[in-house]
Amino acid sequence: MSISQYADDGLFAPARIARILKTSTDDVAWSVGLGKDAVQRQVRIRSDRTQSRLREMLEVLTKVTPRLGSELLAYAWYRGTPLSGFAGQTAMQLVKAGRAAEVLDYVDAVDAGVHA
Protein backbone atom coordinates (compact mmCIF):
# COMPACT_ATOMS: atom_id res chain seq x y z
CA MET A 1 0.00 0.00 0.00
CA SER A 2 0.99 3.59 -0.50
CA ILE A 3 1.58 6.18 2.17
CA SER A 4 -1.06 8.31 0.43
CA GLN A 5 -3.82 5.98 1.69
CA TYR A 6 -3.39 7.64 5.08
CA ALA A 7 -3.93 11.17 3.75
CA ASP A 8 -7.02 13.26 3.24
CA ASP A 9 -6.95 16.55 1.33
CA GLY A 10 -3.14 16.57 1.25
CA LEU A 11 -2.63 16.02 4.98
CA PHE A 12 -2.09 12.90 7.01
CA ALA A 13 -5.43 12.28 8.67
CA PRO A 14 -5.27 10.81 12.18
CA ALA A 15 -8.84 9.48 11.95
CA ARG A 16 -8.06 7.69 8.68
CA ILE A 17 -4.82 6.30 10.12
CA ALA A 18 -6.68 5.05 13.18
CA ARG A 19 -9.39 3.45 11.04
CA ILE A 20 -6.84 1.60 8.86
CA LEU A 21 -4.84 0.46 11.89
CA LYS A 22 -8.01 -0.50 13.80
CA THR A 23 -7.19 1.71 16.77
CA SER A 24 -8.11 5.11 18.19
CA THR A 25 -6.78 8.54 17.32
CA ASP A 26 -5.53 8.82 20.91
CA ASP A 27 -3.48 5.66 20.34
CA VAL A 28 -2.08 7.05 17.08
CA ALA A 29 -1.04 10.24 18.91
CA TRP A 30 0.65 8.24 21.68
CA SER A 31 2.42 6.05 19.10
CA VAL A 32 4.20 9.07 17.65
CA GLY A 33 4.81 10.94 20.90
CA LEU A 34 2.06 13.55 20.64
CA GLY A 35 -0.77 14.50 22.96
CA LYS A 36 -4.30 13.56 21.95
CA ASP A 37 -4.95 17.26 21.37
CA ALA A 38 -2.59 17.11 18.37
CA VAL A 39 -4.83 14.66 16.51
CA GLN A 40 -8.19 16.10 17.48
CA ARG A 41 -7.98 19.84 16.85
CA GLN A 42 -7.78 20.84 13.18
CA VAL A 43 -5.22 23.57 13.78
CA ARG A 44 -2.96 21.07 15.56
CA ILE A 45 -3.51 18.35 12.93
CA ARG A 46 -2.29 20.80 10.30
CA SER A 47 0.83 21.77 12.27
CA ASP A 48 4.22 20.86 10.87
CA ARG A 49 5.13 18.95 14.03
CA THR A 50 2.04 16.74 13.93
CA GLN A 51 2.32 16.08 10.20
CA SER A 52 6.04 15.32 10.50
CA ARG A 53 5.54 12.81 13.32
CA LEU A 54 2.70 11.08 11.50
CA ARG A 55 4.76 10.95 8.29
CA GLU A 56 7.72 9.38 10.10
CA MET A 57 5.58 6.61 11.58
CA LEU A 58 3.83 6.01 8.27
CA GLU A 59 7.13 5.81 6.37
CA VAL A 60 8.26 3.08 8.74
CA LEU A 61 4.94 1.23 8.51
CA THR A 62 4.79 1.34 4.70
CA LYS A 63 8.38 0.10 4.51
CA VAL A 64 7.78 -2.97 6.71
CA THR A 65 4.22 -3.81 5.63
CA PRO A 66 5.26 -5.83 2.54
CA ARG A 67 7.58 -7.97 4.67
CA LEU A 68 5.04 -8.52 7.43
CA GLY A 69 1.95 -8.91 5.27
CA SER A 70 -0.46 -6.29 6.62
CA GLU A 71 -0.71 -2.83 8.13
CA LEU A 72 -1.89 -4.35 11.41
CA LEU A 73 1.13 -6.61 11.70
CA ALA A 74 3.41 -3.72 10.74
CA TYR A 75 1.83 -1.57 13.48
CA ALA A 76 2.28 -4.35 16.03
CA TRP A 77 5.94 -4.69 14.98
CA TYR A 78 6.40 -0.90 15.20
CA ARG A 79 5.04 -0.79 18.73
CA GLY A 80 6.34 -3.98 20.25
CA THR A 81 9.40 -5.47 18.60
CA PRO A 82 12.78 -4.52 20.09
CA LEU A 83 15.33 -3.69 17.41
CA SER A 84 18.79 -5.19 17.71
CA GLY A 85 21.51 -2.61 18.01
CA PHE A 86 19.22 -0.08 19.71
CA ALA A 87 19.42 -1.30 23.31
CA GLY A 88 16.10 -3.11 23.00
CA GLN A 89 14.13 -0.05 21.92
CA THR A 90 11.22 -0.44 19.54
CA ALA A 91 10.70 1.49 16.33
CA MET A 92 7.99 3.45 18.16
CA GLN A 93 10.37 4.49 20.92
CA LEU A 94 12.96 5.56 18.37
CA VAL A 95 10.45 7.55 16.30
CA LYS A 96 9.21 9.27 19.46
CA ALA A 97 12.83 10.23 20.19
CA GLY A 98 13.27 11.78 16.73
CA ARG A 99 15.27 8.85 15.34
CA ALA A 100 12.96 7.74 12.51
CA ALA A 101 15.78 7.96 9.95
CA GLU A 102 17.74 5.39 11.95
CA VAL A 103 14.75 3.03 11.95
CA LEU A 104 14.40 3.37 8.17
CA ASP A 105 18.14 2.71 7.74
CA TYR A 106 17.83 -0.34 10.00
CA VAL A 107 14.95 -1.74 7.93
CA ASP A 108 16.91 -1.13 4.71
CA ALA A 109 19.93 -2.93 6.18
CA VAL A 110 17.84 -5.92 7.26
CA ASP A 111 16.17 -6.03 3.84
CA ALA A 112 19.62 -5.97 2.22
CA GLY A 113 20.69 -8.97 4.31
CA VAL A 114 22.94 -7.03 6.67
CA HIS A 115 22.44 -8.12 10.26
CA ALA A 116 21.78 -4.87 12.07
Report d(CA 52, CA 30) in Å as an integer.
Answer: 14
Domain assignment present for 93: yes
Domain assignment present for 75: yes
Domain assignment present for 116: no
Per the CB < 8 A criterion, the answer to whether 107 and 60 are in contact is yes
From first to last of the 116 residues of the chain, give the pLDDT tens digit: 688 889 988 899 999 999 999 999 999 999 999 999 999 888 899 999 999 999 999 999 999 999 999 999 999 999 999 999 999 999 999 999 999 999 999 999 998 988 65
Angle, helices 71-80 vs 48-68, to 10°: value is 110
Domain assignment present for 17: yes
Domain containing 82 equals 3-111
